[in-house]
Amino acid sequence: MESKSSVDTLQAEIDALKQQLEEANDTLDAIRTGQIDALVVKGDDGHALYTLRSADHTYRIFVEEMTEGAVTLNAAGIILFSNAQFAAMVRQPLSKVLGCPFIHFVAAADRPLFEHALSAAWKDSAKREEVLLCDTDPLPVQLSLKVLNFDRDKTLSIIITDLTQQKKTEEELKYKNEQLEALNNALLSSNHDLQQFASVASHDLQEPLRKIQVFSNFLMERSYHLLPDSSRQYINKIISASNRMKTLIVDILTYSRLSANDAQPEAVNLRMLVEEVLEDFDLKIVEQHAVIEVGELPVVEGNRGQLRQVFYNLLSNALKFSTPGSNPYISVTAKPVKAVELGVALLNEEEYCHISLRDNGIGFDEKFAYAIFSLFEKLHHKSTFEGSGIGLAIAKKIIDKHHGLIIAKSAPGKGSEFSIILPLKQTNLR
């Protein structure tokens, strides 16, 4: 009990000291900013009132501890008092500062405006930026001007804050912003050149490819039955390779175009969009006896053509990577969700929907869940499953442009789930 009492006593003393320290800090701040012109101090004989004149010594001790410069001026603008910090700022001995008109330390170009501001400050407190003369070097500062009452006399208190580092930081920030703008412009130009190149290259590649396909098909129709088995295999390989090449060129062109600026977002009914995509796969769905369930899907803002491409690619993969010997089952559902519930880097003020596309296909090792969204990434050999390896990269880029997320979860033999997080509204499509 005695030990607990000692701890309580010590804690009470600590709390009292903290309170005294807070009061002292508040008093110091009030004096520095000119918010008070008198102090009430408790002594052995009761309370005593100290005006700034009678407490001049204590006031000066406070001011000398300041990291800012401090001066007091009379009505003629003469410096009656200066702390050592101000003298150091203007690189003058304190003896040469006292009794000198403050305006002598103001840059010549700023003096007319400063005289006007000084006159106004006697009526109302003010803050302004000036350039002081530090020998011959300019010194950017902020001046805080406040009238102080010393009994019947009035003086003007000026707190001088050195802005050198702030101005240096502002200049550096301006320079960095200019660099960033230049880099952005260079990047935009580079993206435009790449888009032009991809478009031209894809067009130029398709022309010889078209000839390869035409002549290969010509051989198939006219001479296939006359060729030996080895030659037939070669023609089949040429046709298969040219078909893959065509798919690859189209996908590259699609991917490159996603960097272009888009039109204003429109309202997109996702359920109608998914049903439209399913019509494209109607024959394949019948052939594979696939079951596809589509729940209620929201209306979101976005680029309809791009969002259609996302669902086309995902549904195409779900049908393609089905488990041999079993009927594909695919479900598409959605629910509203808030960004804070997801624990991911999204704008918290936006409203989102969580769209889930699940299948019962062959799945994949989840360690590849991020890699599958990279360009040309394929987890299966081209002889097993056709494709360019760009479909999911296109889907991710589109979702990124719509300020959303796409996440894959899977396990070998257990199917896959692709989760799409989309904002219901779009401020802009980048």
What domains can you pick out in the chain, each with its CATH number?
67-162 (3.30.450.20), 165-260 (1.10.287), 263-430 (3.30.565.10)
User: Helices 2-32 and 56-64 sit at what angle, rounded to 10 degrees?
Assistant: 90
Q: Name the nearest CA neighbour of 127 among 84, 161, 81.
A: 161
Contact 49, 40 (CB under 8 A): yes
| Model pLDDT, residue 387 | 46
Token readout for 113 is 């405006």
Using CB atoms within 10 Å of the CB of residue 145, give its burial: 0 to 12 exposed, 13 to 18 middle, 19+ buried.
Answer: buried
| Model pLDDT, residue 392 | 84
| Model pLDDT, residue 388 | 47
Using CB atoms within 10 Å of the CB of residue 126, give its burial: 0 to 12 exposed, 13 to 18 middle, 19+ buried.
Answer: middle
| Model pLDDT, residue 109 | 84
| Model pLDDT, residue 256 | 64
Looking only at the bridges linking them, the beta strands covering 46-51 and 291-294 are unpaired
Q: Name the nearest CA neighbour of 350 among 269, 264, 424, 267.
A: 424
| Model pLDDT, residue 54 | 44
Contact 242, 264 (CB under 8 A): no
Q: Which residues pair with 354 in a beta bridge?
A: 335, 421
Alpha carbon distance 346, 343 (integer Å) = 9
234: left (phi over 0), alpha (psi -120 to 50) or beta: alpha
Q: How far is CA 174 from CA 122, 170, 320, in A?
A: 36, 6, 53
| Model pLDDT, residue 381 | 44
- Low-confidence stretches of the chain (pLDDT < 50) are 28, 31-34, 36-41, 47-55, 376-377, 380-385, 387-388, 430
- Sign (positive or negative) of CA dihedral 176, 182, 185, 187: negative
Q: How far is CA 82 from CA 57, 87, 95, 102, in A?
A: 13, 7, 10, 10
| Helices and strands: H and E segment counts in the chain | 12, 14
Q: How far is CA 76 from CA 99, 186, 189, 261, 412, in A?
A: 11, 57, 61, 64, 88
Q: How far is CA 133 from the centre of its chain?
A: 41
Alpha carbon distance 353, 341 (integer Å) = 12
| Model pLDDT, residue 257 | 65
| Model pLDDT, residue 152 | 60
